Chain A
Amino acid sequence: MSFHRIILTVNGSTEQVDVPGNMTLLQMLREKLALTGTKNGCAAGECGACTVLMNGEPVNSCMVLAAECNGADIITIEGLARDGQLDVIQKTIIEQGGVQCGFCTPGMLISARALLNRNPHPKEEEIREALVGNLCRCTGYNRIVSAVKAAAEVQ
């Protein structure tokens, strides 16, 4: 099996990684870069726990080949806070009680951040639509939706 040498930016730092053709971006982040905040919940693009930003757009990292990421700019949950300062959506999800077991939370926050980036003042319906790809079994979602609303008001 041949390897691809890729150079990419992850959370602002440049990384060089050798990856086999069948390695997904998710596997690369977790296994090569030890960025374990991004979670593997289904490996089929359905649950959203592995959502990261790729060139500013949210993607299921289990649905992207690592080899495709040469030159890409990736932001994971570990890159959401800056210098120890939480992103506003991280603050509001805490305030609204939108975290229980925490396993969906990283992907959920990335999707929420992406929504707020493209639409700073989303309507409730738009928030719910933007989060359908992030399954949560604990919270029942409404507190997460409230957190996005609250973040939109603050930011």
Chain B
Amino acid sequence: MTIAPTKDKATTNIGVSKPRVDVREKVTGAAIFTDDVQFGAGLLHARAKRSPYAHALIKRIDISKAKALPGVKVVVTGEDFPNRTGLYLRDRFIFARDRVRFVGEAVAGVAAVSEEIADKAVDLIEVEYEPLPGVHDPVYGASSEAPLVHPDLGSYEWPNFIFPVPGTNISNHFKVRKGDVDSVWEKCAAVVEYTFRVPHVQHVPIEPHVAIAKVDDEGNVTLWASSQSPFAQRNLIAKSLDIPESKIRVIAPLIGGGFGCKAGVTMEAIPVAIALKAKGHPVKFRLTREEEFYTNFVRQGLVAQIKVGCDKDGNLLGLQNTMYWDGGGYTDYGVNITRAGGYSGSGPFDCPNVKVDSLCVYTNHPVGGAYRGFGMSEVHTGIVQAMDMLAEKIGMDRVEFLKKNVVQEGDKILTGMTMHKTGIKECIDKAAQAINWGVKEPNSAPNKLRGKGIAVMWKAPAMPPNAGSSALIKLNEDASVTVMIGGQEIGQGTFTAMAQIAAEALGVPFESVKVKGPIDTQYSPYEWQTVASRLTWSMGNAVRNAALDARRRILDMVAEAWGENVEDLDIKDGYVISYKTEESISLKNIVVYGIPKPNDEGWIGGPVVGSGNFMPTYVTGLDKETGQGERAVVHYTTGAQAVDLEVDLDTGQITILKAVSAFDVGKAINPDLVRAQIEGGFVQGMSSAIFEEMKLVNGHMQNPSFVDYRIATSADVPEKIEAIIVEAPQDDGPFGARGIGEHPMVPTIAALANAIYNATGVRVPHPPLSAEKIYLAMLDAGIVK
């Protein structure tokens, strides 16, 4: 077969909404999630003994009765595991040792032949506590009156970009000082000063955490985990248990939602620790939904004291943001959320004078961790509402005000980094246009008030400066292509996007590319974590590089066989073609067996494997006192969201008539999957904005079940959710792409709060923007009687 040779580079794989590669198994029930992996009769079941106190010293633990219960195989406590662990700040143990710091903290673990027996054994463990006064508010926690949650903070280990303050509860104090904020206020024509509070919320993946560990008699550990981070887990578990990485294998099957809570290490170390004492037995540890709510990572609460000011024309002059993050009992991951909140703490606004203090505060609350947006929903809730208030105070249309003040290419942002090309203004225009911004629409009934709101956002991937990706590509006899990666399919569609990138870079049909889990640290190439909306960009680059490497190997082989120059050859649709001779040859067989030389004189080539990696090398450190540095982050994804809603005067309930989101994704590899992220992200944002709050009373969560922690259902979702893709290419993204996984929920709370204000004239600043809060605010303001 001959394919008409052409150097036309029109793509068939990029910017095309290819079908998901993982979908058939998901609709037939064949897809294997971690809880579905079968282990046979030797399986042991683990449960954890948990602290009923928010803050207490452990005086005594008696495990003798639990150990004596028939069917119990292992009981372990903190005594058995002395090392601290943690992703950034190493401040936690696998099981609490001397003290407990939040309700639900694991103090002991049990493995038994059945979950029922393990459950009974946990009840038989006796723990004597000495309760301590607790810290239940981050502002109080940061004060000198508060009791210390971690008196030994100064002795912990942390990387050089985290700034703990030993002798206090502040585990990271990140500062930005740009210009001179303190003297600018008197020059402002309008100033807004306001304190915003964002409650703790939970990720609520529909799949609860589950992990199974097995240790063989040579001490090799295998961990099957519902995980966003098999490599980070291998690394952290290795350190905490003094096992070399080479002896730990983490296998991560498909994951039933993560949103950040399955990144880092939380419960996964527990079954490993137990399995070390039950060699040969797989040990399964599965959280109940109730445990899921408060014993694992939560989204940190935030108190943000914000002051913003502008001149009479609406130009921002000063921006001050002091953030107290409610980090919880341990902040091993939370310290970096605080850092991200700090270096993006101005929101996507260009302002000459900026002062940000972002403080991670130990409290006796559940432990904060990554949550879709990594601090940005919380930051934007305050800063974007403050801008809405400021625009009103100066008497300016919100859209005009935002467009005047958002960051643009070439601006020096708060950290001194030069902003790259960004489509944020186009996002604002398109979102505003889609909801008829500026047009006052009629109410649907006399007892309704209608309003519109708009919000903007930015977010950079938050990660260590050198978070890396790698990929392998191998070709098979039938010319099919296997892409091996270490990034996880978490629902976002990354397997599909990687197949598209590989197909495009290599020159083969999309259908011939296979990307499959499970991710297996023994065989999959390294990937830092599936977080930070970084895969399309970072892993995409690695996959593209691997595909180009494989391509080069193939072309070298064919060039040699045909006596041609590589430059005259191309791979298209699974065939190597020559632009010079118009020859073509299928990739079939040659990619494994090579090409015979003429006259039986031997062979050229061999099995083709391509490898590629990617790691940003240009991120610089930031000054401890000023937060200034050349390049704080790799890039920012920006966007805008606008909503049109009605408030019911009888109940305070809101009905969102239309929601529009526009995001600059650089280049949409798969536009339909991008839209799916934007829609789903909006609904998660809306759900957190309206319904969600972990109700904590002295550290005890009052609503740890779906009965009283409500999330949006099919009936709560607006029928009109529009997703608009804007593309200002990323210079170092694969085909110009950057990430979009987290961003769609970042501006939602502010957009809704602004719209509720527009409708009612009453600001309900602190989420959740529940019907109750809205109604009572209207009542107190005299809007209803």
Which residues in A have some Cβ–Cβ distance to B below 8 Å? 30, 34-44, 46-47, 49, 76-78, 80-81, 86, 90, 93-94, 97, 99-106, 109, 124, 127-129, 131-132, 134-145
Give min CB distance, B717 to chain A, whole Å.
5
Closest to A45 in B: B706
Can you list 27 residue pairs at the A/B interface with Cβ under 8 Å? A30-B36, A37-B28, A39-B35, A46-B705, A94-B23, A94-B27, A97-B20, A99-B20, A99-B26, A100-B491, A100-B680, A101-B207, A101-B257, A102-B31, A103-B33, A103-B205, A127-B714, A128-B713, A137-B203, A137-B206, A137-B259, A137-B711, A138-B257, A138-B680, A141-B712, A141-B713, A141-B717
8 A Cβ contacts from B715-735 to A: 715, 717, 719, 721
The answer to whether B713 touches A140, judged by C-beta atoms less than 8 angstroms apart, is no
CB within 8 Å of A: which B668-687 residues:
672-673, 675-676, 679-684
Q: Who on chain A is nearest to B256 by CB? A: A103
Q: How far apart are A6's CB and chain B's nearest CB, in angstroms? A: 20
Given contact pairs A103-B207, A143-B676, a sample of 19 additional A-B residue pairs in the complex whose CB atoms are under 8 Å apart = A41-B206, A42-B706, A44-B707, A46-B289, A76-B29, A81-B28, A90-B27, A100-B491, A101-B256, A102-B25, A102-B26, A102-B256, A135-B713, A137-B204, A139-B679, A140-B682, A140-B683, A141-B717, A142-B717
B237 CB → nearest A CB, Å: 24
Measured between C-beta atoms, what is the minimum distance from A38 to chain B in Å? 7
Report B160 CB to chain A, min CB distance, Å: 36
Bound-state CA distance A129–B360 (Å) is 42
A61 vs B683: C-alpha distance in the bound complex, in angstroms? 27
Q: Which of A43, A46, A137 contacts B257 (CB 8 A)?
A: A137
| A132/B713 in contact, CB under 8 A | yes
B28: chain A residues within 8 A (beta carbon): 37, 77-78, 80-81, 86, 90
Q: Is the interface of B mostly helix, strand, loop or mixed?
A: loop
The answer for the CA separation of A47 and B681 in the assembled complex, in Å, is 19
Contact, CB under 8 Å: A101 / B205: yes
> What is the 8 Å Cβ interface bit string for chain B, positions 230-254, against chain A (1 contact, 0 not)?
0000000000000000000000001
Query: Which of B20, B38, B206, B680 is in CB contact (< 8 Å) with A103?
Result: B206
Segment 651-694 of B: residues with Cβ below 8 Å from A: 672-673, 675-676, 679-684
Q: Cα distance A14–B670 when bound, in Å?
A: 44
Given A135-B713, A139-B680 in contact, is the A44-B29 Cβ separation under 8 Å? no
Complex-state Cα separation, A41 to B290, whole angstroms:
11
Residue of B nearest to A84 (CB): B28
| 1/0 contact string of B490-507 vs chain A (CB within 8 Å) | 111100000000000000
Alpha-carbon distance between A12 and B35 when the two chains are bound, in angstroms: 25
A132 and B205 form a contact (CB under 8 A):
no
| A97 pairs with B672, CB closer than 8 A | yes
* A131→B713 CA distance, assembly (Å): 8
Task: Specify the chain A residue showing the minimal Cβ separation from B35.
Answer: A40
B30 at interface (Cβ–Cβ under 8 A)?
Answer: yes
A140 and B679: CB pair below 8 A? yes
User: B616 near A: Cβ within 8 Å?
Assistant: no
Q: Assess whether A105 is in contact with B717, with CB atoms less than 8 Å apart.
A: no
The answer to whether B714 and A144 have CB atoms under 8 Å apart is yes
A39 to B34, CA, bound (A): 11
Please tell me if the beta carbons of B683 and A36 are within 8 angstroms of each other in the complex: no
Closest to A106 in B: B29
Tell me the minimal C-beta distance from A152 to chain B in angstroms. Answer: 15
The reply to whether B714 and A37 form a contact with Cβ atoms under 8 Å apart is: no
B32-47 contacts to A, CB under 8 A, are: 32-33, 35-36, 38
A34 touches B38 (CB 8 A): yes
